Amino acid sequence: MIQLLDYDFMRRALMAAVFTGLAAPAIGTFLVQRRLALLGDGLGHVALTGVALGLVTGVAPILTAVVVAVLGAVLIELLRMYGRTSGDVALAMLFYGGIAGGILLANLADERATSLNGYLFGSITTVSDSDLRLVAILAVVVIALAIGLSPQLFAVCQDEEHARVSGVPVRAYSILIAVLAAVTITVAMRTVGLLLVSALMIVPVAASQQLTRSFRTTHLAAMVIGLLAALGGVVTSYEINTQPGPTIVMIALAVFGLAALVAAAARRVRAHRRTAEIS
Amino acid sequence: MTTPLKARGVTVSLDGRPVLRGVDLDVAAGEFVALLGANGSGKSTLVRAAIGLVPMSAGSVELFGTPLAHFKDRTRLGYVPQRSRAVAGVPATVQEVVMSGRLSHRRFFGRRSRADTVAVAAAIERVGLAGRTRSSLSDLSGGQQQRVLIARALASEAELLVMDEPTAGVDHDNQESLAELLGGLVHDGASVLLVAHELGPLRPLIDRAVVVRDGSIAYHGPVDDLIGEDHAHVHTHDAIPSLPVGLTGEGVWR
Ligand SMILES: Nc1ncnc2c1ncn2[C@@H]1O[C@H](COP(=O)(O)OP(=O)(O)OP(=O)(O)O)[C@@H](O)[C@H]1O
Ligand SMILES: [Mg+2]
């Protein structure tokens, strides 16, 4: 561990893991609450087009990815609000458009598949100082808004109509949630890669809600699980020489499995105790 | 005192089908109005249009003397939706859900105040769920969840409570305590617009009944003229000319 910190690239990788691990579940909790768990995936695909755009134009792909993903996020919310398209169909179209656009653009740029690979599967060990700075800024913004506005976001995701009657600007907040998700995807793009970004937004939430009863604890515990999975994944991948992205996601999934087991055991114990009391 | 709700000529079409045709509805300060009618007659659409959840193609609504589009004073309005999807994808406690009823009192980025905490505890107590404050909503029965939504509306300490079938699935004892509670609120000057199929213990509180039929008002007047506990005979001696067809016979608003 100590020796691991001697490498500059490893220090940067661990920093990036901290920001990603905290930011992804911070916004992912609201997506799960709204039952839009797959929104992250859809936006990840759209971000791919953004990355390809960056490769074509020579602009930093992380910037073009943010811009394109945010536009995609706004578009999908507008489709949901005003169009006659249901949420899941709008999502499906994002998936297809994003992948097709990304690959077409990359073809045009005559980029070899490898340059897209770094974004598809993540390449946390090649994170540069300027990448890290951008990741840090975006992640802090996401975390601050997700926690600071959590009463409003909670109300909007829990019961949209009641929130509207209470005078909460529901449309603005819906768009904000989608935009924050898009920004998070770009943050996590280098860490876990676009194909697995959404896993880090959703799996920690699924794990934490096995054991919690309140929204607040679920939210905070998900962030802790995300943080541990991201850090653990980077360290493990270094030790056993695997790709960090999938390693992070597998650790998160393992935590989920463990939490589900503990929850099931706790339920059994409680049920047992109750029947014991009755008899 | 301004009239809490004044709706004129409310016309709504959903999916190109007319659902409300020029409905007038008033709720005066301190008045308890019951909205009755068969399934699909347009009761929910009417209350939803009145609080701005459904766009109107014609007509106007004023809340506390302010046109709906400019009504900002949301703390004065409490709403219990019909069959709300109370349970979302992430667990939430009774306390957290009821706390969202206080949102109109809070500033942007504002912390919850002492008044918020007190009002939420009081609202939960009033619906008889004091022992379940920290329970997850998904661990409650349907009727208990319904009472949580009532508490959420109560927590806003609103002057106008709009409740769409709040007693659906709530047992008789809890309906009685709700009746007692609403009676107290109305006595203190609050107004209630309530949609219901069975009035039950709420019946004595009702100042005026309004019957919706096919998107129009078929009757309005004292609830006593609606004979029978559950099935309705409308006796129309005065203001309203003809007996609405189909309102007699077996339980129209059962
Ligand atoms: N979202 C919608 N889209 C299209 N039509 C709708 C929609 N919601 C309601 N309607 C139609 O509007 C009419 C009135 O519905 P509404 O929900 O207001 O009835 P209701 O009186 O509240 O009935 P219930 O007693 O079942 O609650 C119904 O005929 C229904 O088919
Ligand atoms: Mg209804």
Task: Please report, for chain A, the start and end positions of each structural domain, with discontinuous segments joined by +.
Answer: 2-278
In chain A, whose CA is at the least distance from the CA of B90? A33
Q: Does pLDDT of B254 surpass 90?
A: no
- In Å, how far is B45's CA from the nearest CA of chain A? 13
Q: Is the pLDDT of residue A188 over 50?
A: yes
Q: Is the CB of B39 under 6 A from ligand 1?
A: yes
- Residue A1 has a pLDDT of 56
User: Which protein residue has the closest C-alpha to ligand 1 atom 3?
Assistant: B14
Residue A123 has pLDDT above 90, yes or no: no
Q: Which of A7-11, A68-72, B99-103 has the lowest mean pLDDT?
A: A7-11
Task: Compute the average pLDDT of residues B198-205.
Answer: 88
Model confidence at B231, pLDDT cuts 50, 70, 90, reads very low
Q: Are B82 and B22 in contact (CB under 8 A)?
A: no
Residue B68 has pLDDT above 80, yes or no: yes
Averaged pLDDT, A74-89: 76
In chain B, domain spans: 5-84+159-226
Give B-chain residues touching A214 at CB under 8 angstroms: 91-93, 95-96, 134, 136
- pLDDT for residue B77 is more than 90: yes
Q: How confident is the model at residue B84 (pLDDT cuts 50, 70, 90)?
A: low
Q: Smallest Cα–Cα separation from B182: which of B116, B102, B123?
A: B123
Identity of the residue in B85, B103, B139 whose CB atom sits nearest the CB atom of A168: B103
pLDDT confidence of residue B25: 93
Average pLDDT over residues A199-226: 95
Per-residue pLDDT, averaged over A79-99, amounts to: 76
Span from the CA of B164 to the centroid of ligand 1 (angstroms): 12
Alpha helices in chain B (DSSP H): 43-50, 94-99, 114-126, 142-155, 172-187
- Please tell me the least confidently modeled range out of A241-255, B6-20, B28-42, B232-246: B232-246
Instruction: Please give the average per-residue pLDDT across A150-154, as a whole number.
Output: 93
Give B117's DSSP letter: H
- Name the residue at shortest CA distance from atom 13 of ligand 1: B40
| B16 within ligand 1 shell (Cβ under 6 A) | no
CATH 3.60.70.12 fits domain B5-84+159-226: no
Q: Which among B90, B98, B154 is the top mutation candidate for probing chain A, defined by the most A β-carbons within 10 Å of its own β-carbon?
A: B90
User: Would you give the DSSP letter of residue B215?
Assistant: T
Tell which CATH classification among 1.10.3470.10, 1.20.120.160, 3.40.50.300, 1.10.3720.10 matches the domain A2-278. Answer: 1.10.3470.10
Q: Which pLDDT value is given to residue A84?
A: 66
| Min distance A166 CA to chain B CA atoms (Å) | 5
What are the b/e assignments for A131-162, b being 16+ CB within 10 Å?
bbebbbebbeebbebbeebbbbbbbbbbbbbb
Inspect the interface and report whether the beta carbons of A152 and B77 lie closer than 8 Å.
no
Residue found under tokens 């706390």 = B99
pLDDT band at A113 (very low <50, low <70, confident <90, very high): low
Is there a contact between A159 and B81 if contact means CB atoms under 8 Å apart?
yes
Instruction: State the Cα–Cα distance between residues B250 and B248, nearest whole angstrom.
Output: 7
Integer distance in angstroms from the first to the last C-alpha of chain A? 54
Q: Which of B79, B109, B135 sits opposite A162 (nearest CB)?
A: B79
The residue that leads in pLDDT, B147 or A117, is B147
Residues near ion ligand 2 (CB < 5 Å) are: B 44, 82
Statement: residue B238 has pLDDT above 90 = no
Name the closest-CA residue to atom 26, ligand 1: B39
B→A contacts (Cβ < 8 Å), by residue, are 48, 51-53, 72, 74, 77, 79, 81, 84-86, 88-93, 95-97, 99-101, 103-104, 106, 108-109, 112, 134-136, 139, 152, 156
* SS3 track for chain A: CCCHHHCHHHHHHHHHHHHHHHHHHHHHHHHHHCCCCCHHHHHHHHHHHHHHHHHHHCCCHHHHHHHHHHHHHHHHHHHHHHCCCCHHHHHHHHHHHHHHHHHHHHHHCCCCHHHHHHHHCCCHHHCCHHHHHHHHHHHHHHHHHHHHCHHHHHHHHHCHHHHHHCCCCHHHHHHHHHHHHHHHHHHHHCCCCCCCHHHHHHHHHHHHCCCCCCHHHHHHHHHHHHHHHHHHHHHHHHHHCCCHHHHHHHHHHHHHHHHHHHHHHHHHHHHHHHHHHHC
Which has more pLDDT, B124 or B219?
B124
The pLDDT score that the predictor gives to residue A82 is 76
Is A113 within 8 Å of A105 (Cβ atoms)?
A: no
B-chain residue closest to A154, CA distance: B100
pLDDT band at B33 (very low <50, low <70, confident <90, very high): very high
Q: What is the mean pLDDT of residues A187-197?
A: 84
Main-chain dihedrals φ then ψ at residue A115, nearest 5 degrees = -70, -30
The atom of ligand 1 lying closest to the CA of B38 is 25
Instruction: Please compute the mean of the pLDDT values over residues A86-95 and round it to a whole number.
Output: 75
- pLDDT for res B24: 93
Measured in angstroms, the CA of B188 and the nearest CA of chain A are apart by: 22
| Predicted local distance difference test score (pLDDT) of residue B16 | 85
Given a cut of 80, whether residue B35 has pLDDT beyond it is yes
Answer positive or negative: Cα dihedral of B151, B152, B153, B157.
positive
* A to B CB pairs, distance under 8 Å: 97
pLDDT for B195 beyond 90: yes
**pLDDT grade, residue A6 (50/70/90)?**
confident
Using only the alpha carbons of chain A, give its radius of gyration.
20
Tell me the pLDDT band of B251, cut-offs 50, 70 and 90: very low
Q: What is the mean pLDDT of residues A13-42?
A: 91
Confidence of residue A102 (pLDDT cuts 50, 70, 90): confident
Prediction pTM value: 0.87
> Given the structure tokens 């598949």, which residue do they identify?
A113
Of B99, B104, B139, the CB nearest to A167: B104
A4 — pLDDT class (breaks 50, 70, 90):
confident
